[in-house]
Chains A and B, each alone.
Chain A
Amino acid sequence: MLAAASSCSDIDVLGMIWAQSPVPDRRFEESINNFGPMHGKCLKLESNEYRFYTFGDSHITTSTANLDRFVADYLADSQAAPFVICLGDMISEKYYPTFMEHTIQLRNQDHYMYVCAGNHDLMFGMWEDFVKFYKSSTYWFEVETLSEGKDLYIALDSASGSLGAKQINWLDAFLAGAKGKYRNIIVFTHTHMFMTDFQQGVTDNYSLEETHRLMSIYADAGVNLVLSGHRHVREEHEFRGVQYVTLDALKEGARNPSYAICTVSKGKTSRLFINL
């Protein structure tokens, strides 16, 4: 029954009562003071329109076929932006080394992989492992286009089904200061905003109060796009001028494994989903 109620097959039973990783407020404090080398940076591009690759819920254990396919497809696209975004749940159980090994080509002088923490990345007390590899679960970076200004990307830690009070308040203030300064604002985080069906069992959302507050923050700041994963089923919705896009899972055995190629231009984003 518990397995049916979980989004994936490995279950942290203790975590259903109390998480084994630190609470969101403490993770946020550590993250905001512990930026990695590419966090808070500005990537300069030679065009006004660009596309980036994104995936989520790879749940890597021993099999990496779909992840390898994603990496190969991205590296073969010479027109793609020099970064990819991973929407969390990179691994199941303790397979960080395997994931890192199979994405090493995405983290060199020519490319970078931005990740956000999913619940499976932090279950069983794996926050320390996440920090060792990725430094921060809350950060931002900019992409500067040739002549149309900058786009802002924000990674949020929603691995606990809540951003936590400190991260929410930081986000509110940060986006209030960013309003009007960017061509596009794109938020990426693991937990999806809405619950629309039971295709992936009983996956968690935010609480209602948090849902309303986040919808308000995003809408008032002019966020264009919120990317998420977690429920393993593709969805695209729009509410109050904000697009909420949830990706399929990349993992093998998922109902419809896929990744997305997002095209970004002035005030507009679009997606192409690549089924595996």
Chain B
Amino acid sequence: MDFSKKLSCLFLAMLLALPAAGAKKAGEEKSLNLNGYADSVYTIGVHALYGYNNSMGHFAGADISFHLPVHRYFQMRGSIEQSGRHITGTYLTLSPQYRLGPGEFFIDVTTAFRNYGVYRSYELVNAFTAGYRFRFISLHVGAFHRLFGTTSREPGQKGSTFSEGWFPAIRCMVHIMPSDSRWNIALGIGNFNDYEFERINALHYMIEGKYSVTNHLRIELSLDLKPSGMFHQMAVFNGARVKAGLSYMF
């Protein structure tokens, strides 16, 4: 199935996944949406980002993200991001969830597409993860598949694809405040975040913070550190990324 058909199926899935009623409005619950933790309000956010890595050098960019708790048992979230001139990325996650015991059980079905325009390649990731959110900790495990492709039209390159197969996805976030606090800071480690699914051997270290200025406005800040060579036992700095922005809750 080529990429345009996959995109069409994705949009069709989005439309079919919008039930009519049940979404909560801002103010009914005050839980904060940290990475991996549920949010019960609609949000749309804009963020600026700045980063460095060995391959791209210094880069800046921005993203637009959204979170739609369309039903008490179902959420959608996604974003579109531009990182420098190198990467245009987008992801969409469909997330059934169910309150279970002291926390919440959820399943994330994610499709992420990243176009490395400068390098004339792209990757398409499909991920299935499940997790559990407590008041202070969330754990996410699952699997993802990556397909490499090229946008080059050079003879010998055009149409080339490569499938890396299925690999684990894991992420653990620990929050220092309960979920219903106006502010929170989360520390985490894992091989995926809101913009990429790395190989299992390339763990990110993550710090995130959020502060709800009003019932409708939230400030967000995150830092992502990615070393290389951990499992070479020759670990060195590879890259880091900081993102800051605002989300409007309604």
Known: A168-B55, A219-B152. A195 touches B119 (CB 8 A): no
Given A207-B239, A212-B116, answer yes or no on A160-B228 (Cβ-Cβ < 8 Å). yes
Q: Give the residue name and chain of the A residue nearest to B157 (CB).
A: A240
The reply on B123 being an interface residue by CB < 8 A is yes
- B238 contacts A215, CB within 8 Å? no
Tell me if A252 is interfacial: C-beta within 8 Å of chain B: no
Looking at chain A's contact residues, the main secondary structure is loop
A204-B116 in contact given A12-B233, A239-B148, A240-B157 (Cβ < 8 Å): no
| A162 lies within 8 A of B196 (CB) | no
B230 within 8 A of partner (CB)? yes
| Residues A159 and B234 in contact, CB atoms below 8 Å apart | yes
Complexed CA–CA distance, A191 and B231 (Å): 11
CA distance A7 to B87 in the complex (A): 31
B9-17, B100-108, B159-167 - the one binding chain A? B159-167
Say yes or no: is B229 at the interface (Cβ < 8 Å to chain A). Answer: yes
Give bound CA distance, A21 to B118, whole Å: 32
The complex places the Cα of A204 from the Cα of B54 at a distance, in Å, of 16
| Nearest neighbor of B118 in chain A, beta-carbon distance | A216
Given that A168-B55, A203-B201, A240-B160 are contacting pairs, would A159 and B121 also be in contact in the complex, using a CB cutoff of 8 Å? no
Chain A, Cβ-Cβ closest to B150 = A240
Query: B86 at the A/B interface (Cβ < 8 Å)?
Result: yes
Number of A residues contacting the other chain (C-beta, 8 Å)? 50
B55 touches A210 (CB 8 A): yes
> Residue on B with the closest CB to A164?
B54
Judge whether A24 is part of the interface by a CB distance below 8 angstroms: yes
Contacting residues, chain B, for A23 (C-beta < 8 A): 236-237
Given known pairs A204-B228, A207-B239, A240-B157, the reply for A195 and B233 (CB within 8 Å) is no
B198 contacts which chain A residues (CB < 8 A)? 207-208
CB interface residues, A 1-54, toward B, < 8 Å = 5-7, 11-13, 15-19, 21, 23-24
In angstroms, Cα B54 to Cα A241, docked, is 25
Q: B120 within 8 Å of A by Cβ?
A: yes
Instruction: Return B29 CB to nearest CB of chain A, in Å.
Output: 36
Chain B nearest CB: distance from A206 CB in Å? 7
- Report Cα–Cα, A216/B156, bound state, in Å: 13
A15/B119 in contact, CB under 8 A = no
A122 (CB) vs chain B CBs: closest residue: B234
| Contact (Cβ within 8 A) B233 A119 | yes
- Docked pose: A119 CA to B116 CA in angstroms: 29
A-B contact sample (18 more), CB < 8 A, given A12-B233, A164-B54, A204-B228: A13-B233, A24-B236, A159-B229, A160-B232, A161-B234, A168-B54, A191-B232, A195-B199, A195-B201, A196-B165, A204-B230, A208-B123, A210-B53, A210-B238, A215-B121, A220-B154, A239-B150, A239-B160
| Smallest CB-CB A-B distances: 10 pairs | A161-B229, A241-B156, A15-B233, A216-B119, A119-B232, A162-B228, A12-B233, A160-B229, A161-B228, A209-B55
